[in-house]
């Protein structure tokens, strides 16, 4: 069945070959034809073909559905008390991950799945149409495999994060835990995941140093998983450089970067084939985390000026950032990280798609998936201009 979506006051295609020639490929008075799960036609509303069904958006804005390339949705419990303590001066250390581990292990499969689905529904209602989901609150062989099986029921972008932290009972046996994550746990988890990730943070007693990170990531790559890295969140460290060295798709957080890190990410960005991203490392920024941990925001312009490909994601998790809202993330990126509204929107759509090495999402063109978000406003700029106002929603064909 063909479905004409017309009356689009402003259409953001993210295709410079369409429309005004800018990076966002803007078209005014536009229309799109959807056929099943893909886009069949894009152009001026006045030239639209006849279809089986018509929706008139009466001047609203349409953008590619947001691509949230970093989340931790399989968990139970919350850590509101830890958040409140942070707001009165406690630092974020990652130590609370053990609290969520205990609650998650105690929850049933059904509880975890229903909770993840509820968060996904929250995301959709704010314009997100693709979500990456990590494990990392199980931290033993069975529990990590269980988390991935649950994640795989709701997304294809599933990430094995057995190396989130060393679980409490193994703190004095770190080497054994690294061996487990790179051995038996990986074997049980690899069939359920596309990606592997490590929380690389030598400054944290709970997370992993550079050598441990390399050991785990190399084993995961040998098992056929593609790589991502949590890096440079709490301090300068080797995460970003390791991500580039091992051709991880993305290094996420990037809060504390040296000039050398920025140069390496800039060079990596320039090597990415944006048309068909199959290699190269994106710098993914998660400003909801800085907001929720009272940390200094990274400067996105420093990365963009160096040539890096920048993505924005939510990092939705119960500890460092419990928001599901990419519009909030876009507004923070514009206000706090030196991004223009256009750069922030691109980073939350096409940037996220490239961070997931996907060419079928994050832009509106013939053949792409029919994943759209409608903004109840005359232009995409309102996403940052009207922070906290629920303007965006995923379009349901």
Number of residues that bind ligand NIG (CB under 6 A): 14
Three-class secondary structure of residue 95 per DSSP: coil
> What distances in angstroms separate CA 233 from CA 95, 114, 239, 344, one per listed residue?
14, 30, 9, 20
What phi-psi label fits residue 168: left (phi over 0), alpha (psi between -120 and 50 degrees) or beta?
alpha
Which is nearer to ligand NIG, 73 or 375 (by Cβ)?
A: 73
> What distances in angstroms separate CA 185 from CA 180, 220, 221, 223, 231, one per listed residue?
6, 10, 14, 12, 22
Q: Which stretch binds ligand NIG (CB under 6 A): 168-176, 312-320, 334-342, 362-370?
A: 312-320
Report whether 137 belongs to an annotated binding site: yes
DSSP-derived letter for residue 384 is H
C-alpha to C-alpha distance for 28 and 9, rounded to whole angstroms? 5
DSSP-derived letter for residue 198 is E
User: Measured from the CB of residue 256, what is the shortest distance to ligand NIG in angstroms?
Assistant: 13
User: Measured from the CB of residue 71, what is the shortest distance to Fe ion in angstroms?
Assistant: 8
C-alpha to C-alpha distance for 125 and 392, rounded to whole angstroms? 7
C-alpha to C-alpha distance for 343 and 300, rounded to whole angstroms? 10
Report whether 164 belongs to an annotated binding site: yes
Report whether 136 belongs to an annotated binding site: no
DSSP-derived letter for residue 204 is S
Among 255, 317, 323, 324, binds ligand NIG (CB under 6 A): 317
C-alpha to C-alpha distance for 287 and 84, rounded to whole angstroms? 18
C-alpha to C-alpha distance for 229 and 225, rounded to whole angstroms? 13
CA 300 from centre of chain: 16
Tell me: does residue 97 bind ligand NIG (CB under 6 A): yes
Report whether 357 belongs to an annotated binding site: no
Tell me: does residue 64 bind ligand NIG (CB under 6 A): no
Binding mask 265-304 for ligand NIG (x = CB under 6 A): ------------------------x---------------
Among 319, 327, 351, 362, binds ligand NIG (CB under 6 A): 319
C-alpha to C-alpha distance for 295 and 91, rounded to whole angstroms? 9
Which is nearer to ligand NIG, 13 or 284 (by Cβ)?
A: 284
C-alpha to C-alpha distance for 22 and 284, rounded to whole angstroms? 22
135: partner contacted, choices Fe ion, ligand NIG, none (Cβ within 5-8 A by kind): none
- Report, in angstroms and rounded to the nearest whole number, the Rg of the chain calculated over CA atoms: 20
User: Measured from the CB of residue 43, what is the shortest distance to ligand NIG in angstroms?
Assistant: 41
Site residues (CB under 5 A) for Fe ion, limited to 290-329: 315
Which is nearer to ligand NIG, 13 or 314 (by Cβ)?
A: 314
Q: Which residues are annotated as a binding site for Zn(2+)?
A: 70, 72, 230, 315
Q: Which residues are annotated as a binding site for Fe(3+)?
A: 70, 72, 230, 315
Q: Which residues are annotated as a binding site?
A: 70, 72, 79, 137, 164, 230, 233, 315, 317, 319-320
Q: Which residues are annotated as a binding site for 4-imidazolone-5-propanoate?
A: 79, 137, 164, 233, 320
Q: Which stretches of the chain bind ligand NIG, using CB under 6 A?
A: 72, 94, 96-97, 100, 199, 230, 233, 289, 315, 317-320
């Amino acid at each position: 069945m063909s479905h004409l979506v017309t009356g689009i006051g402003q259409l953001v295609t993210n295709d410079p070959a369409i429309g005004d020639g800018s990076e966002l490929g803007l078209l005014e008075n536009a229309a799109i034809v959807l056929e099943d799960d893909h886009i069949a036609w894009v152009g001026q509303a006045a030239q639209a073909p006849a279809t089986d069904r018509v929706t008139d958006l009466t001047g609203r804005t349409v953008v590619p559905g947001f691509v949230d390339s970093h989340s931790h949705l399989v968990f139970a419990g919350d850590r509101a008390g830890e958040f409140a303590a942070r707001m009165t001066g406690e630092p974020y250390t990652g130590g609370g991950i053990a609290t969520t581990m205990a609650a998650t292990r105690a929850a049933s499969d059904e509880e975890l799945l229903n909770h993840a689905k509820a968060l996904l529904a929250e995301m959709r209602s704010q314009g997100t149409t693709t979500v990456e989901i990590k494990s990392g609150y199980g931290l033993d062989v069975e529990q990590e495999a269980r988390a991935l099986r649950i994640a795989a029921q709701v997304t294809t972008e599933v990430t094995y994060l057995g190396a989130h932290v060393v679980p409490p009972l193994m703190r004095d046996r770190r080497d054994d835990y690294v061996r487990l994550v790179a051995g038996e746990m990986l074997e049980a988890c690899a069939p359920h995941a596309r990606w592997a990730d490590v929380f690389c943070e030598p400054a944290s007693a709970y997370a992993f140093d550079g050598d441990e990170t390399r050991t785990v990531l190399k084993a995961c790559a040998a098992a056929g998983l593609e790589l991502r890295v949590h890096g440079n969140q709490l301090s300068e460290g080797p995460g970003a450089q390791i991500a580039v060295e091992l051709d991880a798709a993305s290094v996420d957080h990037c809060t504390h970067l040296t000039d050398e890190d920025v140069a390496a990410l800039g060079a990596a960005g320039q090597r990415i084939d944006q048309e068909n991203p199959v290699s190269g490392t994106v710098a993914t920024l998660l400003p909801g985390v800085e907001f929720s941990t009272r940390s200094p925001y990274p400067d996105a312009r420093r990365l963009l000026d160096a040539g890096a490909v920048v993505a924005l994601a939510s990092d939705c998790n119960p500890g460092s950032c419990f928001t599901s809202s990419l519009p909030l993330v876009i507004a923070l990126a514009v206000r706090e990280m030196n991004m223009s509204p256009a750069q922030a929107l691109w980073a939350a759509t096409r940037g996220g798609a490239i961070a997931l090495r996907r060419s079928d999402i994050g832009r509106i063109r013939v053949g792409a998936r029919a994943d759209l978000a409608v903004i109840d406003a005359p232009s995409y700029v309102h996403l940052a201009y009207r922070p906290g106002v629920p303007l965006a929603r995923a379009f349901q064909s």
